[in-house]
Amino acid sequence: MTAIPQRVRAWDWFMNRFRSMHIATMNPADIAHNQTMKHVPAPVRRVLFGARDKRVTVDDRTIPPAPDSTSGIPIRVYRPRASALPLALRASAPSSAASPAPSPRWSARPASAPSPAESRANSPIAPAPPSSAGAATLPIALYFHGGGWTLFGGLDMCDWLPSRVAAELGAIVVAVDYRLAPQHPFPAAIDDSSAALRWVYANAAELGGDPARLAVFGDSAGGNISAVLSQLARDESAAAATPAPRIAAQALIYPVTDTVLDDPSMIANAHSPVLHRADMAAFFDYYLGPDLSSPARMDARAAPLRAGSLANLPPALVQLGAHDVLHDQGLAYANRLAADGTEMLLITYPEAPHGWVTYPTIMRVATRAADDLVTFLRTLVG
């Protein structure tokens, strides 16, 4: 197995020196601070968590609350600047949107030689169908941040990846600031994210996007939310008498797919950089409650691997770190997708632990992984 880079190990050493850097050792005040990180000066946040891509503009809004909630849902809408679009598109594009370049077939190289199980999981990805909208609309993607459904809320915390995807893909990207545990436990995050998906679908034209080219992506807990929404949208679309959101692509970046804590990668990577096994136990306790036999821990909206079927889901990209506690459950989800007939591409980054989206300036794999993500999305919705 490829070694974890020294700069990442140095960051891990630093994190382990402070109680407030791991959820397993945080007190309530630490959690409150780390939900927005407003106590960290903006220049430091940009250095640690990555800066917003200068090729986009942003529009912060608050959309209507989810059912059974009174809290509006903050979102940030990223749009590529006209100067970032191909010359052929600039003249016909409105100030906030333009059509993307023609999409090539998927051609990204694997990040490493896959294991036999990973090879079996890989399936070809077909190109996107022609757009159903006019020439001046863009693909649209919803982004859900990580942080164990508990940390890293606040739209300033998640600028790097959604802004990069918007610029590189030429897409409208909507980042969703869903409610966080422990104040808002399961299923609040899913309820808010589902409400945001429905709102974006209904308002795609006003945003300058094409609802027929709608994708979801997210990292860690956000990957979990993206997988869950893909299942819920499939089921709702099959049962609905009226039009329901149809997701064309899902990208799951080191996703949480189950609530187990004893698979081999959980044990082997229990103290790997950024995310420890004890941290996952704490996240589950805050989000799902401390009762290990709780029905919430078996609910497919918390553990999408436990769904009865993964058939008829949107084509999926699953990106994993070889040194991540979540590696095995992500691999299990990828294998289930393929076994149930859903198109799937799996990429494992051999030097990576958890968290390259959170710390893109520290983990150099982040740029390579983001490029693979954009290539995948361009194939399906570009």
Active site residues: 220, 324, 354
Phi, psi angle pair for 55, to nearest 5°: -90, 10
Sign of CA dihedral 259, 264, 265, 267: positive
CA atoms of 112 and 137, how far apart (whole Å): 36
Two structure tokens written together for 149: 């459904």
Angle at 245 between CA 241 and CA 246, to 5 degrees: 105
The count of C-alpha atoms lying within 13 angstroms of the C-alpha of 368, restricted to the half-sphere facing its C-beta, is 17
Residues contacting 342, CB < 8 A, separation 6+ = 123, 310, 311, 312, 313, 314, 315, 316
CA atoms of 302 and 288, how far apart (whole Å): 8
In 3D, which of 169, 163, 191 has the Cα closest to residue 179?
Answer: 191
Two structure tokens written together for 67: 């059912």
CA-based Rg of the chain, rounded to a whole angstrom? 19
In 3D, which of 66, 60, 15 has the Cα closest to residue 225?
Answer: 66
Residue with tokens 């679309």: 237
Two structure tokens written together for 288: 């799902």
